[in-house]
Amino acid sequence: MTHACTLAASGSLLKFITDGGVIGYVIVAMSVVALAVGLAQFAMIRRGALLPRALVEDCRREVQAGRLARALELCRDPARGCYVGRILAAGLARAGGGALGLLQVREAMQEAGDAETARLVRWTDAIAVIASVAPLLGLLGTVQGMIGAFEGVAAGAVNDAAYYETLASNISLALITTFQGLVVAIPCTAAHVFLRNRIEAAAAEAGEVAESFAELLEQRVPGSRA
């Protein structure tokens, strides 16, 4: 009994994948792309990956000791490359020019932060595009199925078994593509909102870290706050 139910369930699932026609296969392909991008983003947009505490503390220690070149080297190390590291590197690269260089530190880190945040957002926007397009493709499949159904009604004979088969097939196509589009769009929308919130939280925290470094650098140059 359990084996029969499992076979029926797998058959129904396969039907939802294969009976959507060409449009259905496009939606399925989009779902695979969204899953791949989403998993990559979930792995990338973690606090430990974007703002590793060890790198921040190591750089802070070097800056406090006056070893700006070493701090810059740490931030630019490919093995430790990360979101906050690239932001700090942009500021530290400008800090070596004395008070004049310090005037550009905040601006450099702001520009680097905007660029790094935009890079992360571009990937999450791919998920948002899929979330928007999938239900539209589902609607297109619905229209296609309904057109086929009405054409079958107009051309078929009511007493003909093929008439009912064609009618049911077209209505099934219309409903399945709608179902597929919604199944893809709903989790994609939720994932996009979740990822964007994480990016915004990381950007806010990176801004606080950058500001603390800018203040630390200013303390090393007398009169830089004037």
Structure confidence at residue 157 as a pLDDT band (50, 70, 90)? low
The helix/strand/coil state of 133 is: helix
Query: What's the pLDDT score for residue 7?
Result: 34
Alpha-carbon distances of 42 from 107, 135, 187, 203, 223, rounded to whole Å: 29, 24, 14, 16, 44
Is the pLDDT at 100 greater than 80? The verdict is no
Tell me the per-residue pLDDT of 2-34, one tens digit each, with 9 for 90 and over. 443 443 444 566 666 666 778 888 999 999 999
Q: Which amino acid is at 129?
A: V
Query: What's the pLDDT score for residue 16?
Result: 64
Section 82-99 average pLDDT = 83
Tell me the per-residue pLDDT of 106-155, one tens digit each, with 9 for 90 and over. 889 999 999 999 998 988 999 999 999 999 999 988 888 787 777 766 66
Q: Which residue, among 52, 81, 51, has the nearest Cα to 202 in the 3D structure?
A: 51
Check residue 37 and report its DSSP letter: H
